[in-house]
Amino acid sequence: MNLVLELVIPFVLGFFLISIMLAVGKMFGLYAIVGECESQVFTLFGKVIGTLDEPGLQFPVSKFGMQALLIPMFGRRQLVSTALRQHYLRGQMVNSEEGTPMGVGIWYEMQVHNPVDYLFVNANPEGSLQANVASSTISTLSNLEMDKMLEDRHSLSRTVRQTVSPLCEKWGYQLGSVYIRKVHFTDQQMVNNITDKVVKRLVQVTSAMKQDGENRVGLIRSETANKVSQKMAEAKATRPAVVGSALNAIAKQDADILEAVMDVMETEQLLASNASIDILPEGMNVITQM
């Protein structure tokens, strides 16, 4: 029991002592912990004496000298985030060259690269940036043709960025990518009219495509029927020549066979015609029989 108390009590006392020493050191500015994407600006008697922007444990005394010890009493330490920030401005109103009211949505990103200028050159740098991006967007897109406004947003975005960037440099940050993400109609009646026109146009195009398809099918059918008729006529024209050639070959071999074939063919023709046939006894005079 005594051994446990001898171990626990020094540990607890040491823990509290170290915490108190760290708190006192931090209160007197003996050290500072700089986070990722963060800068710390130190001012003394209203003047900037330096900036810490390396992440990790830093000692202001080693960088700013003994005057750093006066910062907790007569100065100030300000934290500035240098992380990339993204913003989106919705519903910026512009008019096209045709007088159509349009709504524009623009996305942009910014990053602080000079924490001192960011803190002291402009009292509200982000608000000023937002106002500049909005005004530049409106001035760039106003009175443009609607087609250009809807289709050429990439070059328009670059124009907005080039217009706003010089002021951003003065205010201690950089303007990153700028992109006009959305251009839309704000008049609902106009949207309905355009929708009706698009629907009617789609119906017309669909009907025209259907009629064109039917015409092509009809043309293919007529061409096919014409080719089939030609082939059938050629077949009918060829048949007598083939039959005649076959009969000539039979006649050259045996005249009796040819005669028998002719009799059979004649009999088939008579049977196919459904004509009435009168049979006379052999050797009777024809006139007497009649």
Is residue 171 assigned to a domain?
A: yes
What DSSP line would sit under 194-214, residue for residue?
Answer: HHHHHHHHHHHHHHHHHHHHH
What pLDDT shows up at residue 10?
78
CA 181, 199, 185 angle in degrees (round to 5)? Answer: 30
Is residue 176 assigned to a domain?
A: yes
Average pLDDT of span 243-260: 84
- 62 plus 134 within the same structural domain: no
- 119 plus 150 within the same structural domain: yes
Average pLDDT of span 109-134: 88
Domain limits at 74? 24-81
Confidence class for position 38, pLDDT limits 50, 70, 90: very high
Q: What percent of the chain has pLDDT over 70?
A: 94
In angstroms, rounded to a whole number, what is the distance separating the alpha carbons of residues 15 and 7? Answer: 12
- 38 plus 118 within the same structural domain: no
In angstroms, rounded to a whole number, what is the distance separating the alpha carbons of residues 186 and 92? Answer: 11
What pLDDT shows up at residue 225?
94
DSSP state of 97: T
- 135 plus 41 within the same structural domain: no
**CATH number where 182 lies:** 3.30.479.30
- 180 plus 134 within the same structural domain: yes
Mean pLDDT score of the chain, rounded to an integer?
A: 85
Average pLDDT of span 164-191: 84
- 66 plus 36 within the same structural domain: yes
- 106 plus 157 within the same structural domain: yes
- What is the largest distance, in Å, between two alpha-carbon atoms of the chain? 165
Is residue 273 assigned to a domain?
A: no
Determine contact, residues 160/92, Cβ cutoff 8 Å: no
Number of structural domains, the chain? Answer: 2
192-210 confidence digits (pLDDT tens)? 888 899 999 999 999 999 9
